[in-house]
A and B are shown apart, each in its own frame.
Chain A
Amino acid sequence: MNTLQIGLLFGLATIAVLFSGMPIAFALGSVATVFMYFFMPHASLDTVAQNVYEEMASITLLTIPLFILKGAAIGKSRAGKDLYSALHIWLSKVPGGLGIAVTIACGLFAAMAGSSAATCSAIGSSAIPEMQQRGYSSRLCAGLVAAGGTLGILLPPSITLILFAVAAEQSLGRLFLAGIGPGILLVVLFASYGIFKYRMEVKQAQASADQGGDRSRILQVDNYTAKEKLAALPKVLPFLTLLLGVMLALYGGFATPSETAGLGAILALILIAVVYGAYKSSDLIPIFTSTLSEATMLMMIIGMSLLYSYVMSYLHISQSAAEWVVALHLSKWTLFLAVALLVIVLGFFLPPVSIILMTAPIILPPLRAQGFDLIWFGVVMSVIMEMGLIHPPVGLNIFVINKIAPEIPLKDVVWGTLPFVFLIMFAVLILCVFPDLVLALPDHYFGTATTKNS
């Protein structure tokens, strides 16, 4: 069999096994092992376990469980609610301030927790009822929270960016910094859309009130005193300090990314103990069990994806596929568009971690050959994958919203998130036209030369 036939068989086997519903980790491991048996020297089968161990025993990869622990500690506390409430009070004078508060709270929470689902759940559980009570439409509430939650895979400490750093052999510190600019861009776009929709809903409510209908709650303006504003701060400041402290430790040269993960996790546990008194076993057990569950599931997928990539590389499938793509002589942006479409389609079915590890060996060489900066591409790929979190059929955040606000019909959640899918596409376009939005910060901090693994 030639490489093309083996490659096609490999692809078909992967699709068949993945769609059987078998856990992704075991599906990828099974395909890799079967192809090792048939197409690689039999001795390679003896090193399956060793291969997986050696691929997983990377201190960069192993920051993931600790960042998840940090996210779980903050996510299971009342930090999200307090953060959102404080922003709401401080932005009450701004038209559509509640929507802006939700978006900013999601961005800040995502930067502390690093998880899209945790962000959606923590902010949404308090923000959605509050917004509904104040007359915001269900679609806008659901859309804002679901879209805000997607920032979890872009803003540091994003697990997606950690994996991209490993797969593309790029500096993690540089990638984390590169994610900040696009993160802020998305927050601005989401908040602007929130204000625009708010104004439309206010107009409709005003027209309805003028025609003698009920006066909607959305027309009322809340006023908070300076005392109330100051009273909202103490519970939020420690977490903002943690967020800034972790960034300072990482970029001030005090700690490596792995040490930052450890410090962040331990400090988050100390903070929730001090601020919320969450130090009893009944508080800590859910934090640790959810960390173990999520981290184990992700690390198994990562370990087996790396075995899968190793087999693909040994059989020259990834190299041949990459050479084939290069030989197509696609223009720079046609290639980018093709890769973006591939990532979007894969995002229908696969989580970002698998997409990165399975496609990186194939898509990165052609992109590098076309002169794309891989730091820029890693961040843009994460932005593209954000779409997968808010559109069917997987749309993890849609289901999180459905779980925390079951009174909002799934149809409304899907329609509510749709404008944000277009906003993310628009953000990708902006990042293509202005790549400095991604690269300016890391280039300013680290210099323009590409560095390997920080």
Chain B
Amino acid sequence: MSARATLRMALVALLLLLLQSTVLLSVRFEGVHPDIVWLLPIMAALLAGPETGAIVGFWSGLAFDLVLPTPFGLSALVGSLLGFSMGVATAAVDRRAVWLRPVAAVVGSVAADMLFAVLGAIFGQQQMVQIDFFSLFLVVAVSSALLVLPVNRLMRWALSAEGNRRSLVSASSAESGRW
């Protein structure tokens, strides 16, 4: 990514981090709040392919890890895996399809939270699998579906520094072929 795109990405990540640790913490259902962090690698993967998705997932995850009480690096690990997998999984799909973003956001966020909990338990944090997964998945799925459009706009702005959107999409298709 160019320096300009990296700077814009950092701004978007900071904005979402602030949103997550202020507004979204007070939006709770059954004690569960939305997890916005996973939308960054998902949108990056849809807009620019698996490699960018993985890079964005790693750095945004690491930024969120700085303020979370869970093991440092866990969000980065899940974010990079999520970004890469989402890019690969949607490589054969028309990325301009209207349904793709909400579906990818819901499926990706739920899968990421599941992976986050399981990996956390493997790394010795047993309490991470002692939660109400039904409420967690419900809240994360609904909030991701609602927040995907504004996050998508922000990510388009951040990644548009790489070139125009059409070239990004075609570059991502070629990139997916290489991966």
Note whether A and B form a binding pair: no
Binding site for B on A (CB under 8 A): none
Binding site for A on B (CB under 8 A): none
